[in-house]
Amino acid sequence: MSLLEVRGVTKRFEGLLAVDSVDLDVGEGDIVGVIGPNGAGKTTLFNCMSGLEAPTSGEIRFRGQMLSGRPDRFTKAGVARTFQNIRLFPHMTVFENVLVGRHCRTHVGLVAAIGRGPKFRREERESGEKADELLEFVGLRRQADTLARNLSYGDQRRLEIARALASEPGVLLLDEPRAGMNAAETRAAADLVRRIRDRGVAVAVIEHDMRFIFGLCDRVAVLVQGRKLVEGTPTEVQGDARVIEAYLGAPTA
Protein backbone atom coordinates (compact mmCIF):
# COMPACT_ATOMS: atom_id res chain seq x y z
CA MET A 1 0.00 0.00 0.00
CA SER A 2 1.35 3.41 -0.78
CA LEU A 3 2.33 5.80 1.96
CA LEU A 4 1.11 8.99 0.39
CA GLU A 5 -1.81 8.88 -2.03
CA VAL A 6 -2.81 11.82 -4.15
CA ARG A 7 -6.22 11.28 -5.70
CA GLY A 8 -7.72 13.52 -8.35
CA VAL A 9 -6.18 16.67 -6.94
CA THR A 10 -7.27 19.77 -8.82
CA LYS A 11 -6.25 23.33 -8.06
CA ARG A 12 -7.92 26.20 -9.85
CA PHE A 13 -6.83 29.84 -9.52
CA GLU A 14 -9.50 32.14 -10.91
CA GLY A 15 -9.42 31.20 -14.59
CA LEU A 16 -6.24 29.12 -14.44
CA LEU A 17 -6.33 25.38 -13.96
CA ALA A 18 -2.93 24.90 -12.31
CA VAL A 19 -3.33 21.24 -11.38
CA ASP A 20 -5.90 19.10 -13.14
CA SER A 21 -7.03 15.88 -11.39
CA VAL A 22 -3.60 14.46 -10.72
CA ASP A 23 -3.06 11.06 -9.11
CA LEU A 24 0.28 10.25 -7.55
CA ASP A 25 1.49 7.56 -5.20
CA VAL A 26 4.59 7.57 -3.06
CA GLY A 27 5.25 4.16 -1.56
CA GLU A 28 7.44 3.01 1.30
CA GLY A 29 11.10 3.32 0.21
CA ASP A 30 10.26 5.14 -3.03
CA ILE A 31 12.06 7.99 -4.68
CA VAL A 32 9.50 9.54 -7.02
CA GLY A 33 10.43 12.29 -9.47
CA VAL A 34 8.06 14.96 -10.73
CA ILE A 35 9.20 16.74 -13.88
CA GLY A 36 7.60 19.02 -16.40
CA PRO A 37 8.11 22.30 -18.24
CA ASN A 38 7.95 25.61 -16.37
CA GLY A 39 4.42 26.40 -15.26
CA ALA A 40 3.31 22.77 -15.44
CA GLY A 41 1.94 22.94 -11.89
CA LYS A 42 4.64 20.92 -10.11
CA THR A 43 5.09 23.30 -7.19
CA THR A 44 1.34 23.87 -6.89
CA LEU A 45 0.92 20.09 -6.65
CA PHE A 46 3.52 19.99 -3.87
CA ASN A 47 1.78 22.90 -2.13
CA CYS A 48 -1.43 20.89 -2.14
CA MET A 49 0.43 17.80 -0.90
CA SER A 50 1.93 19.74 2.02
CA GLY A 51 -1.11 21.78 3.03
CA LEU A 52 0.16 25.15 1.88
CA GLU A 53 -2.74 25.35 -0.52
CA ALA A 54 -6.09 23.64 -0.25
CA PRO A 55 -6.92 21.71 -3.43
CA THR A 56 -10.10 22.78 -5.23
CA SER A 57 -11.06 19.12 -5.32
CA GLY A 58 -9.43 15.75 -4.74
CA GLU A 59 -7.84 14.34 -1.66
CA ILE A 60 -4.51 13.55 -0.10
CA ARG A 61 -4.10 10.56 2.16
CA PHE A 62 -1.13 9.62 4.28
CA ARG A 63 -1.08 6.09 5.66
CA GLY A 64 -4.74 5.95 4.74
CA GLN A 65 -5.61 9.01 6.78
CA MET A 66 -7.10 11.96 4.96
CA LEU A 67 -5.07 15.18 5.28
CA SER A 68 -6.57 18.65 5.27
CA GLY A 69 -6.22 22.00 6.97
CA ARG A 70 -3.14 24.00 7.77
CA PRO A 71 0.38 22.89 6.81
CA ASP A 72 1.41 22.03 10.36
CA ARG A 73 -1.16 19.21 10.40
CA PHE A 74 0.43 17.71 7.28
CA THR A 75 3.87 17.95 8.87
CA LYS A 76 2.64 16.45 12.09
CA ALA A 77 1.00 13.61 10.17
CA GLY A 78 4.33 12.90 8.48
CA VAL A 79 4.66 14.89 5.25
CA ALA A 80 7.58 17.34 5.39
CA ARG A 81 8.92 19.55 2.62
CA THR A 82 11.59 21.94 1.43
CA PHE A 83 11.09 25.00 -0.75
CA GLN A 84 12.22 25.89 -4.23
CA ASN A 85 13.41 29.30 -3.00
CA ILE A 86 15.03 28.27 0.28
CA ARG A 87 13.01 29.34 3.30
CA LEU A 88 15.15 29.06 6.40
CA PHE A 89 14.96 31.15 9.57
CA PRO A 90 17.92 33.35 8.62
CA HIS A 91 18.64 34.90 12.02
CA MET A 92 18.53 31.64 13.91
CA THR A 93 21.52 29.37 14.15
CA VAL A 94 21.78 26.19 12.09
CA PHE A 95 21.16 24.18 15.26
CA GLU A 96 18.07 26.22 16.19
CA ASN A 97 16.67 25.82 12.68
CA VAL A 98 16.73 22.06 13.14
CA LEU A 99 15.26 22.37 16.64
CA VAL A 100 12.30 24.27 15.15
CA GLY A 101 11.72 21.20 12.99
CA ARG A 102 11.41 19.18 16.22
CA HIS A 103 8.53 21.36 17.37
CA CYS A 104 5.71 19.06 16.35
CA ARG A 105 7.41 16.03 17.95
CA THR A 106 7.89 17.70 21.34
CA HIS A 107 5.24 18.52 23.88
CA VAL A 108 6.56 20.76 26.65
CA GLY A 109 3.91 23.36 27.43
CA LEU A 110 3.91 26.82 28.89
CA VAL A 111 4.15 25.86 32.55
CA ALA A 112 6.82 23.21 32.03
CA ALA A 113 8.89 25.60 29.91
CA ILE A 114 8.82 28.22 32.67
CA GLY A 115 9.27 25.69 35.46
CA ARG A 116 12.14 23.81 33.82
CA GLY A 117 11.29 20.46 35.34
CA PRO A 118 12.95 17.12 34.51
CA LYS A 119 10.54 16.55 31.63
CA PHE A 120 11.62 19.82 30.04
CA ARG A 121 15.30 19.01 30.42
CA ARG A 122 14.90 15.50 29.05
CA GLU A 123 12.96 16.71 26.03
CA GLU A 124 15.43 19.52 25.30
CA ARG A 125 18.31 17.06 25.59
CA GLU A 126 16.63 14.57 23.28
CA SER A 127 15.83 17.29 20.74
CA GLY A 128 19.43 18.47 20.89
CA GLU A 129 20.76 14.95 20.34
CA LYS A 130 18.37 14.42 17.45
CA ALA A 131 19.38 17.74 15.90
CA ASP A 132 23.07 16.93 16.29
CA GLU A 133 22.51 13.57 14.64
CA LEU A 134 20.66 15.18 11.70
CA LEU A 135 23.33 17.85 11.25
CA GLU A 136 25.93 15.09 11.20
CA PHE A 137 23.78 13.25 8.64
CA VAL A 138 23.62 16.19 6.22
CA GLY A 139 27.21 17.24 7.00
CA LEU A 140 26.59 20.51 8.83
CA ARG A 141 27.70 19.50 12.31
CA ARG A 142 30.62 21.92 12.31
CA GLN A 143 28.41 24.88 11.35
CA ALA A 144 25.87 24.20 14.11
CA ASP A 145 26.33 27.61 15.73
CA THR A 146 26.51 29.64 12.53
CA LEU A 147 23.55 31.80 11.61
CA ALA A 148 21.56 30.18 8.83
CA ARG A 149 21.90 33.21 6.56
CA ASN A 150 25.69 32.92 6.66
CA LEU A 151 25.69 29.43 5.14
CA SER A 152 26.62 28.85 1.53
CA TYR A 153 23.78 28.16 -0.87
CA GLY A 154 24.33 24.42 -0.97
CA ASP A 155 24.60 24.24 2.82
CA GLN A 156 21.33 26.17 3.16
CA ARG A 157 19.60 23.53 1.05
CA ARG A 158 21.05 20.78 3.22
CA LEU A 159 19.95 22.61 6.36
CA GLU A 160 16.43 22.86 5.00
CA ILE A 161 16.47 19.10 4.49
CA ALA A 162 17.75 18.54 8.04
CA ARG A 163 14.98 20.78 9.41
CA ALA A 164 12.37 18.84 7.43
CA LEU A 165 13.80 15.49 8.62
CA ALA A 166 13.66 16.69 12.23
CA SER A 167 9.88 16.35 12.12
CA GLU A 168 10.39 12.60 11.52
CA PRO A 169 8.43 12.51 8.26
CA GLY A 170 7.29 9.43 6.40
CA VAL A 171 7.49 11.31 3.10
CA LEU A 172 9.80 14.18 2.27
CA LEU A 173 8.88 16.52 -0.59
CA LEU A 174 11.93 18.20 -2.15
CA ASP A 175 11.24 21.14 -4.46
CA GLU A 176 14.23 21.55 -6.80
CA PRO A 177 16.90 20.45 -4.32
CA ARG A 178 19.78 20.97 -6.71
CA ALA A 179 18.85 24.40 -8.09
CA GLY A 180 21.94 26.59 -8.16
CA MET A 181 24.36 23.76 -7.45
CA ASN A 182 27.45 22.80 -9.41
CA ALA A 183 28.16 19.28 -10.69
CA ALA A 184 29.93 18.06 -7.54
CA GLU A 185 27.25 19.44 -5.24
CA THR A 186 24.57 17.87 -7.44
CA ARG A 187 26.19 14.46 -7.04
CA ALA A 188 26.33 14.98 -3.27
CA ALA A 189 22.66 16.01 -3.30
CA ALA A 190 21.66 12.84 -5.17
CA ASP A 191 23.67 10.81 -2.71
CA LEU A 192 21.93 12.59 0.18
CA VAL A 193 18.50 11.79 -1.26
CA ARG A 194 19.42 8.10 -1.47
CA ARG A 195 20.66 8.13 2.09
CA ILE A 196 17.39 9.74 3.19
CA ARG A 197 15.51 6.92 1.50
CA ASP A 198 17.79 4.41 3.26
CA ARG A 199 16.74 5.99 6.58
CA GLY A 200 13.23 4.85 5.78
CA VAL A 201 11.87 8.16 4.49
CA ALA A 202 10.20 8.08 1.09
CA VAL A 203 11.05 11.02 -1.16
CA ALA A 204 9.19 12.91 -3.85
CA VAL A 205 11.35 15.33 -5.77
CA ILE A 206 10.71 18.10 -8.31
CA GLU A 207 13.65 18.83 -10.52
CA HIS A 208 14.46 20.22 -13.94
CA ASP A 209 17.79 18.42 -14.22
CA MET A 210 16.93 15.28 -16.23
CA ARG A 211 20.17 13.48 -15.52
CA PHE A 212 19.62 14.03 -11.79
CA ILE A 213 16.03 12.75 -11.93
CA PHE A 214 16.60 9.78 -14.17
CA GLY A 215 19.69 8.68 -12.25
CA LEU A 216 17.93 8.92 -8.91
CA CYS A 217 14.26 8.04 -9.12
CA ASP A 218 12.46 4.73 -9.16
CA ARG A 219 9.46 6.28 -10.84
CA VAL A 220 8.97 9.58 -12.65
CA ALA A 221 5.73 11.48 -13.25
CA VAL A 222 5.61 14.08 -16.03
CA LEU A 223 3.30 17.05 -15.52
CA VAL A 224 2.30 19.18 -18.49
CA GLN A 225 -0.14 22.05 -18.15
CA GLY A 226 -1.44 20.72 -14.88
CA ARG A 227 -2.14 17.21 -16.13
CA LYS A 228 -0.12 14.11 -15.50
CA LEU A 229 1.05 13.10 -18.95
CA VAL A 230 3.02 9.95 -18.19
CA GLU A 231 4.20 8.05 -15.17
CA GLY A 232 6.70 5.22 -15.22
CA THR A 233 10.27 4.13 -14.76
CA PRO A 234 12.95 6.51 -15.98
CA THR A 235 13.49 4.36 -19.05
CA GLU A 236 9.81 4.35 -19.97
CA VAL A 237 9.50 8.09 -19.50
CA GLN A 238 12.67 8.89 -21.43
CA GLY A 239 11.47 6.94 -24.44
CA ASP A 240 7.95 8.33 -24.46
CA ALA A 241 7.20 10.39 -27.57
CA ARG A 242 4.65 12.56 -25.73
CA VAL A 243 7.27 13.65 -23.21
CA ILE A 244 9.71 14.61 -25.91
CA GLU A 245 6.94 16.52 -27.63
CA ALA A 246 5.99 18.33 -24.44
CA TYR A 247 9.53 19.49 -23.91
CA LEU A 248 10.69 20.12 -27.47
CA GLY A 249 7.43 20.67 -29.30
CA ALA A 250 5.88 18.51 -32.04
CA PRO A 251 8.02 17.90 -35.12
CA THR A 252 6.78 20.10 -37.92
CA ALA A 253 5.72 18.22 -40.97
- Point out which residues bind other proteins (CB under 8 A): 50-52, 70-72, 75-76, 80-81, 83, 87-93, 95-96, 99-106, 108, 110, 113-114, 116, 120, 123-124, 127, 142-147, 149-152, 163-164, 167
> Is the CB of 26 or the CB of 213 nearer to other proteins?
26
Answer yes or no: are the C-beta atoms of 31 and 190 closer than 8 Å: no
> Is the CB of 34 or the CB of 164 nearer to other proteins?
164
How many residues are present in the chain?
253
Q: How far is the CB of 197 from other proteins (least distance, A)?
A: 21
86-38-45-201 Cα dihedral, nearest 10 degrees: -50
> Is the CB of 123 or the CB of 240 nearer to other proteins?
123
Q: How far is the CB of 160 from other proteins (least distance, A)?
A: 9
Q: How far is the CB of 48 from other proteins (least distance, A)?
A: 13
> Is the CB of 96 or the CB of 218 nearer to other proteins?
96
Residue 215 pairs with which residues in a beta bridge? Answer: none
3-state SS, residue 33: strand
Pairing of strands 79-81, 171-175: parallel
Answer yes or no: are the C-beta atoms of 134 and 165 closer than 8 Å: yes
Amino acid at 125: R
3-state SS, residue 142: helix
Q: How far is the CB of 59 from other proteins (least distance, A)?
A: 20
3-state SS, residue 38: coil
C-alpha to C-alpha distance for 44 and 247, rounded to whole angstroms? 19
CA distances from 148 to 183, 188, 211 (A): 23, 20, 30
Outline where DSSP puts E strands in 77-167: 79-81
Q: How far is the CB of 236 from other proteins (least distance, A)?
A: 32
Q: How far is the CB of 35 from other proteins (least distance, A)?
A: 22
> Is the CB of 69 or the CB of 200 nearer to other proteins?
69
> Is the CB of 114 or the CB of 253 nearer to other proteins?
114
